[in-house]
Chains A and B, each alone.
Chain A
């Protein structure tokens, strides 16, 4: 082989984790297949998603090639910028669908809460890494504050789904950084005790979603409709599914948001329990690979970041599938790598790129 091409190939693949890439691309292929069915063979949708995937894979490659220590330097500025933008949203944000989530920055509208999904674990990992040698309870308290400030701002927008996901990723950092079990259990008890207070702070539609989860039939044409129809779709799929392009719930428009948040209902209806199992195993493979990378990461920063990314990925998958199958409330969380939409695809792949970077840069750091 031409040594030049060989060198180019080597350059391109040097920081790419083959196993992770394989799993990600497999999931993307599945996603395209489901999207084709869910969108009633819409070429426009499918080609737009293919474009999103290319951008996402490019982003992944770029971040795989950024050494973790460079990211570490970016952590604090990114976090501060994110918090400032969230404050900006709270003060000058635009309202869409009853929530103040968008900030007009002249050229385009941005949603700072998306940025925080990566900026929060990044900054917290940086913080704990900085105080690695002597972690005290106070450090965990500071870490918690770093988490709660943006979460509080996002809850206010209101965007419960994103706030919950960011809370989860921040909690993973705290947990992996060695937060005392006593504190964890204490927090859990306090959390349960605080439920009535949280309930009183929730918006009506948020309460409705939780109530609907308990009994979807209460409001079959309103809040419960999504859950009822997606549960029917999943259940009617049976063991082997109705076959690709044959889901009646899907093709007769009974599943709402069927290309985005509820795409799993389409998959589940058409591929059945067998397909679900395969999909669960694919997600599990990505998570397991992420954990192996985490375990072998060379610094606390890298470990915490990789662990948070991996567990957040898991959280996405669980929350989405749990919501579609009716065991979690309806929150706007896409199914990673499957749901239609560029933002989620790019942010997931950005995380995958960081994982690859951590996996492939450790030796360089050690030497």
Chain B
């Protein structure tokens, strides 16, 4: 069968051809496979060799979480070790708003488990607004053991809510030290920006609090410490698996003050019902022994964020407890200005101690009558008497003779009208009147001109004069220290909590007054005379030490020719009482300035406070509880 054979032959050849073509296609497929595997190999090489470093870093970043460990804040103690600010550990109930769907409802449900008051809610709301809901915010602090147990049993109901052990700042002395020690509070955006600008932000990772006022603010870098770091391995859910390494935090340094807590408290209480300020300085070093601004406030309210109700109470109180009077309050010095005027006149050669004037009880300057407090005048007055009895007329003429330029130049040397450099922020400069000051202060040419009559008011510490109690204390301390002025400072030394190494705030002499010792001696003798036989004599009767002082009364509002009668004047318009003093007179250990707002005569209200402070500081006398305040009848005393 040839046909079949041919067919078979064709078929066989076709089959051969087909098989060949198939194998070619298979070979092409295999080349494709090799090409694709080469592509894969290339990709592996690219990822595992070329980009290995970068991807390895990413893997490490994935698994390692850097957890900051917040250092313990340093504590603040007074010179005797009395604690003024410290930390205690307590449990807080905290909410992470980002993880909670319905905040309102969660808080309501939490309230069924743990007591949550209206104040807690208000404070939480305020924190929410301030933090914009970022982080973990406390809804309740200081949980009791029972509350912790109750929450733990119900924990599953509250995702995003947890209990944390935290260190809290506490100020055991409360309002007495509120304006010295200050307080901390939650870091706000402005402070964050500042920290970033100062390149300190990294050290504040994990830290929620920062010093807001007082020493807590000015010594923030020392108190805060160094934040530690824990390298924690985390899984993709962010849960910590194990700790890889730990750099422990370094606790903040402790701060030891020059301040004497007991002295501070005695001074604070000595004000009784009055508002005011007192600054006491150790003349030889500038160390601040007491720093009172009354009323104060409870700084503990601010630590966890103050609730709006307390906040508005503090802010709207007519007593203005939030104002640091010692630092930022400015007052006319009144007659406490006179010893400096006398010293200026001696130094300028415009007066000798022996020169006397006859005081008729007023001073006529170009038709304008400046009255002395004492009707009929003090008679013949020399420099000593002018200070002891606080004769206005003497200083009216003296001021006119000196002129404003000499006065302002000399007062500037005493630190009046400029910040003292105290180690708390927020110091006011006050006003030291001068021609230059007036030119800058006023816009209209007729207002910019200095009038000679204005010099006369300035001469008795009135007029434009306005100084802070810190400046007034600094000035009298300078006199007490024979003209050598030190920068006042509250902190004695900073102590490293581990090495116990102390870094002292060194006494820092600012300047020495260009005055002759014999001139200084004249003024100092007169100041002693004030407390012995003058306006301060009653307050210092029977003191076991020789003291020097000067009373002052600063007018709050000008009285146009009327006789000032304390009992008839509205309380807020009454005069401020002032007193500057130092003791012991021969080797002063304490110098101070007191101002009692709207009380009346300096001799009656301010001097006794100074006496109480000095009695304790020099003799260790603790005052007996104050007697009930009984109004004294008008005695017709001099106002100074």
Contacts and interface: CB of A to CB of B under 8 A. Distances in A.
Contacts of A327: 39, 43
Interface string B1-38: 00000000001001000100111011001100110110
Contacts of B66: none
Contacts of A284: 33-34, 37
Of B21, B30, B234, the most chain A CB neighbours within 10 A belong to B30
A288 interface: yes
Contact of B48 (A175, A273, A321): A273
Interface stretch (B50-58, B195-203, B508-516, B566-574): B50-58
Interface string A316-335: 00100110011100000000
B437 interface: no
Contact of B30 (A133, A229, A248, A291): A291
A112 interface: no
B65 to A, nearest CB: 11
A276 B56 contact: no
B45 A322 contact: no
A276 B48 contact: yes
Interface residues of A, number: 45
B618 interface: no
Contacts of B153: none
A276 B56 CA distance: 17
A321 B63 contact: no
A268 B26 contact: no
Nearest to B34: A284
A234 to B, nearest CB: 5
B33 A314 contact: yes
Contact of A307 (B21, B26, B59, B241): B26
Contacts of B36: 314, 318
A254 B536 CA distance: 81
A284 B33 CA distance: 8
Nearest to B61: A232
Contact of B33 (A133, A238, A272, A287): A287
B22 A303 contact: yes
A253 B18 CA distance: 53
A127 to B, nearest CB: 16
A139 interface: no
Contact of A248 (B39, B47, B52, B63): B63
Interface string A225-237: 0000101111111
A254 B64 CA distance: 12
Interface string A196-231: 000000000000000000000000000000000101
A172 interface: yes
Contacts of A66: none
A300 interface: yes
A178 B36 CA distance: 22
Contacts of B235: 252-254
B233 interface: yes
Interface residues of B, number: 39
A263 to B, nearest CB: 16
Interface in B230-266: 233-237, 241
Given A249-B62, A253-B236, A273-B44, A236 B241 contact: no
B619 interface: no
Given A280-B41, A325-B47, A327-B43, A235 B55 contact: yes
B56 A236 contact: yes
A301 B54 CA distance: 51
Of B21, B22, B23, B241, the most chain A CB neighbours within 10 A belong to B22
**Majority secondary structure of chain A interface residues (helix, strand, loop or mixed):** helix
A277 interface: yes
Interface string A279-315: 0100110011001001100001001000100010010
Contact of A321 (B40, B52, B54): B40
Nearest to B55: A235
B369 interface: no
A239 interface: yes
A236 B49 contact: no
Contacts of A175: 25, 29
Nearest to B25: A176
A291 B29 contact: yes
Given A235-B48, A276-B48, A291-B29, A178 B21 contact: yes
B29 A232 contact: no
A337 B63 CA distance: 30
A274 to B, nearest CB: 9
A276 B29 CA distance: 22
Interface of A: 132-133, 172, 175-176, 178, 229, 231-239, 248-249, 252-254, 268, 272-273, 276-277, 280, 283-284, 287-288, 291, 294-295, 300, 303, 307, 311, 314, 318, 321-322, 325-327
Given A176-B29, A232-B58, A300-B22, 5 more contacts: A132-B18, A234-B47, A236-B60, A277-B41, A277-B44
20 contacts: A178-B18, A232-B58, A235-B59, A239-B48, A249-B59, A249-B63, A252-B62, A252-B63, A253-B236, A254-B63, A280-B37, A280-B40, A280-B41, A283-B37, A284-B33, A294-B26, A307-B29, A314-B33, A325-B47, A326-B47
Interface of B: 11, 14, 18, 21-23, 25-26, 29-30, 33-34, 36-37, 39-41, 43-45, 47-49, 51-52, 54-56, 58-60, 62-63, 233-237, 241
